[in-house]
Structure 1
Amino acid sequence: MEKQVTFHDLATHLRMLLESESYSQTTVKDMDFILNSFASYMDKNGLDVYSPEIGERLIQYCEVELKVCASRVSRARVIVRKLNRLNQGLDGREALWGDKTSPIVLPADFEKILSAYISYCRKKGNKQTTLHYKQWICSRFLKNLSSSGCEKAEDISGDMVQSAFLQLKFSRYWERIGPFLRFLFEKGYTKLNYSMLIQHRKRNSPYPTVYSVDEITTVESSIDRATPAGIRNYAIIMLLSRYGIRSSDIAALSFENIDFTNNRIRFLQQKTDDPWESELFPEVKDALLDYIQNVRPEVSGCSQIFMTLVIPYQPMDCFAINTMVWTQFGKSGVPLAERRHGSRAFRSSMASNMINDNISTEIVRRVLGHGTKHAIKHYARIDIESMRLCPLAVPEPGGLFAEMLLWKDGDNHV
């Protein structure tokens, strides 16, 4: 692309690149908001030509004058970096991703196997952002191999694999390097399966946060429904507590997803693209209609249901919803201790409470919209009531352990 100098040309080309890279709808909408805000600033100040200095002023405009949230300030900085790279004459992925995914010079054989692996992952349905991440990590791993004198896949040895991996310095990268090495073995590029060399240690995931039905009711009752924000927030929390759907799905919810006549709610999940559908419960319907008819601002061309309530009116994003939920939990008086209290707390509470009520995991899976039954195992780990049905007696201490207990109590202390 020839070097662009006007903001309008740069922004137009950036939007085209973003569309080609399969970003999620939520991300694209958020970037559109930032770019539209930038354009508004340029117009108000009679600016046309873009420069890195102008980019810094655009970031300040979002942070100081618009007072957008921290996540959107961060997004504004990311967009300015992309604009700067376009302004320098970069294009395509180099403009979007910069140094983080800039090409690394590899031996021809390594270039060939990396390209084959990325094509394989693309055919499996990996998103473009995932492909970038895999290419970034695997190319650095291969670079480390080539630095040790290895330039062909057939010459790779176990010692080389371990050394190249350790140079990456982060053990979590094995999540990406392991499948890459397994691919090389299965496709015949290497004679041995080196993916078994380093044991990947999964980090211990915390137990899911669970709130009782009474605690959820307390949170709902704590909302001040005499205010516009309270009416909107009540409708959001009713969706969270009754269906356990994700905040990203609520943010993307549009009028075409709600059938008030037939009392149905249906949408494609943002995370998985899988369809989700349920009955529109009466209490949820009432809350939605109260918000839509009495509070929601009229915004031409915007089909998303949940909007900010101050000018300029914009669709709410999942970050705003999470912040609202976090704040409402704090106001509710429900004891939080060390429990998480974002929007996901409703999802995990619903799943765990259903399992504790002996509802089958298949029904729980369908309610939550999970693609496989394995996804809900995390919630079943705290089925306390079922665990109480099969307790084991604590054995009497004996031997050295019994002596140690006596020492702790002060008996037989020498």
Structure 2
Amino acid sequence: MSKQKLEINELILKVQGALKEAQYSEMRIAAFFPTWARLTEYMTERNEQILNAKTGLNFLEEAYGITVFKNLPRNLAICVRAVNVLTDFQQHGMLLAKARRKVHVYHPQFQALFQGYIDKRRTEGHSEDTLQSYAIYLDRFSDYLHSREVKSICELDNTLVLGFTGTFTNYSPAVIHNTLCSLRTFFHYLFQEGFVSKNFAYVVPRDGYRSRTKVPSAYPKEDVEKLLKTIDRGNPKGKRDYAIILLAARLGLRAQDICDLSFEHLKWDTNTIEMIQGKTEKPITLPLLEDVGQAIIDYLKYARPECTTTNAIFLRLIPPMGKLEAPTLHSIVTHHMRKAGIQVQDGKKHGPHALRHSLASALLEDKTPLPVISEILGHTSTASTSVYLKIDINQLRSCSLTPPPFDWNHGEEVF
């Protein structure tokens, strides 16, 4: 494929076509048009035809005053994304997706092969979450090979492998590490099954990343209560969101388990919630606390839409009606945290999982034994729960040692 840079008008047309091929909606693509038009005018005034990253950054600063790219309001975030898709395509000849569709359909020349790999991993007992991650990485690899006009996996060579790994610049160290590891596993499969004559796993570069347990993102009890109190429960959305956030904050349910919660999981006769956890596939029984139960009843009676296609409790409030997805829960919690004025430090998580961490922190503060916390959170072992010891400041403080005195003047005198 030619690496000649595209002029701005042709680049926009190419990207528009790539977005349609990637199944972006017409409305989502149209949201980029105003920024693209303004960028074209900006470049014309400066007699520039070829867009590069530097020009894109200058444009965002001069046209919109954007110099910091974190926590942008939605309208400015769209402007940044509109420029990024152009510069990414200019540099790599493909879209570097920030979010991928859940159903992965690879390019036709790779569909059977890539799906065969996923199916084989499934028969080996890998979880659906792990398989979904593999599918995302292969989806990106499929896009890259297609953009390089590769017609068969037999055309794979070192240049293509290294070229693909060079597109990871926008990813976090953890994602880069996981992608590289997944690639090696996939290349081992290709070689062992005879699809390629060389094992390209040894071409994939090493990243030096070492997985480390991080300090969980937890918020004090006061912030959690402030969050709950500021939710407006006088409308259907508020009633739904309040029940969702209570389930995360009071019971520590994961986002996916809240989305999967259905009527048969609510045992009103015993005041319990009984379900199979999506992540561990292990059963869990939790008390249906009074405030949680009342919030769910309030939502079911006065806010839940009529829907015959799903038995899930928490639904979208606008068409198409259906079960909520986990990423939507993250947006819900983030929205209400911002509305409550809760300060979120850079790098600190602020979704439903942060509320789960906050529950663990509160339980530790109340001196709840670790095995009990492990059972509440649905961990398969206390080893998973022990990471929360890092946020038990009071207990850590009790382990501190007083350093011995040090006499700076002790020793030989220097004249």
TM-score (norm 2): 0.56
Q: Take 2:281 and 2:375, find their aligned partners in 1: how far apart are those partners?
A: 14
Q: In structure 2, what is the equivalent of residue 249 of structure 1?
A: 257
Q: Take 1:64 and 1:317, find their aligned partners in 2: how far apart are those partners?
A: 25
Q: Secondary structure at the match of 1:376?
A: helix
Residues 122 and 131, structure 1, Cα contact 8 Å, conserved in 2? no
CA distance 1:312–1:384, change in 2 (3 Å): same
Q: Secondary structure at the match of 1:355?
A: helix
Residues 100 and 136, structure 1, Cα contact 8 Å, conserved in 2? no
Give per-residue Cα distances to partners, 1:57-87, cap 9 Å, x unaligned.
982167779xxxx9xxx899858xx8xxxxx
Q: Does 1:219 align with 2:185?
A: no
CA distance 1:287–1:135, change in 2 (3 Å): closer
Q: Shift of residue 327 of structure 1?
A: 1.0
Q: Secondary structure at the match of 2:25?
A: helix
Q: In structure 1, what is the equivalent of residue 328 of structure 2?
A: 320
CA distance 1:118–1:53, change in 2 (3 Å): closer
Residues 232 and 238, structure 2, Cα contact 8 Å, conserved in 1? yes
CA distance 1:364–1:331, change in 2 (3 Å): same
Q: In structure 2, what is the equivalent of residue 266 of structure 1?
A: 274
Q: In structure 2, what is the equivalent of residue 388 of structure 1?
A: 397
Q: Take 2:19 and 2:178, find their aligned partners in 1: how far apart are those partners?
A: 37
Return the match for 1:304 from 308, 312, 322.
312
Query: What amino acid sits opposite 1:229 in the alignment?
Result: K
TM-score (norm 1): 0.56
For residues 168-247 of structure 1, the aligned pairs below 5 Å read: 172=178, 175-176=181-182, 201-247=209-255
Query: Alignment identity in percent?
Result: 23
CA RMSD of aligned residues (A): 5.1
Residues 307 and 314, structure 1, Cα contact 8 Å, conserved in 2? yes
Query: What amino acid sits opposite 1:352 in the alignment?
Result: S
Q: Does 1:281 align with 2:281?
A: no
Q: In structure 2, what is the equivalent of residue 122 of structure 1?
A: 123
Q: Secondary structure at the match of 1:336?
A: coil
Q: Take 1:363 and 1:354, find their aligned partners in 2: how far apart are those partners?
A: 9
Give per-residue Cα distances to partners, 1:96-135, cap 9 Å, x unaligned.
333796689xxxxxxxxx99x9968833445444666899
Q: Secondary structure at the match of 2:275?
A: strand
Q: Secondary structure at the match of 1:388?
A: helix
Q: Shift of residue 55 of structure 1?
A: 6.7
| Range 380-389 or range 201-210, more displaced | 201-210
Residues 252 and 304, structure 1, Cα contact 8 Å, conserved in 2? yes
Q: In structure 2, what is the equivalent of residue 291 of structure 1?
A: 299
Residues 252 and 355, structure 2, Cα contact 8 Å, conserved in 1? yes
Q: Take 1:135 and 1:53, find their aligned partners in 2: how far apart are those partners?
A: 18
Q: Shift of residue 296 of structure 1?
A: 1.1
Q: In structure 2, what is the equivalent of residue 354 of structure 1?
A: 363
CA distance 1:229–1:54, change in 2 (3 Å): closer
Give per-residue Cα distances to partners, 1:224-269, cap 9 Å, x unaligned.
1222221111111111111011111111111111122331211222
Return the match for 2:352 from 324, 343, 356.
343
CA distance 1:213–1:234, change in 2 (3 Å): same
For residues 79-118 of structure 1, the aligned pairs below 5 Å read: 96-98=105-107
CA distance 1:121–1:168, change in 2 (3 Å): farther
CA distance 1:269–1:56, change in 2 (3 Å): closer
CA distance 1:55–1:350, change in 2 (3 Å): same
Q: Take 1:388 and 1:56, find their aligned partners in 2: how far apart are those partners?
A: 52
Q: Does 1:364 align with 2:369?
A: no
How many corresponding residue pairs? 298
Q: Take 1:290 and 1:357, find their aligned partners in 2: how far apart are those partners?
A: 30
For structure 2, list consecutive stretches of 5 or more residues without a partner in the other structure.
1-17, 32-77, 79-96, 146-152, 167-175, 190-201, 410-415
Q: Secondary structure at the match of 1:265?
A: strand
Structure 1: which 4+ aligned runs deviate by more than 6 Å? 52-58, 62-65, 74-77, 133-137, 164-167, 177-183
Give per-residue Cα distances to partners, 1:340-393, cap 9 Å, x unaligned.
321111101111222233222211111111122222232111221111212212
Q: Shift of residue 271 of structure 1?
A: 2.0
Residues 134 and 182, structure 2, Cα contact 8 Å, conserved in 1? no
CA distance 1:102–1:233, change in 2 (3 Å): closer
| Range 128-137 or range 268-277, more displaced | 128-137
Q: Secondary structure at the match of 1:313?
A: coil
Q: Take 2:317 and 2:231, find their aligned partners in 1: how far apart are those partners?
A: 16
Residues 351 and 364, structure 1, Cα contact 8 Å, conserved in 2? yes
Q: Which has the larger radius of gyration?
A: 1
Q: Take 1:238 and 1:347, find their aligned partners in 2: how far apart are those partners?
A: 10
Q: Shift of residue 211 of structure 1?
A: 1.4
Q: Take 2:285 and 2:29, find their aligned partners in 1: how far apart are those partners?
A: 39
CA distance 1:306–1:120, change in 2 (3 Å): closer
Give per-residue Cα distances to partners, 1:160-179, cap 9 Å, x unaligned.
xxxx9999676555645888
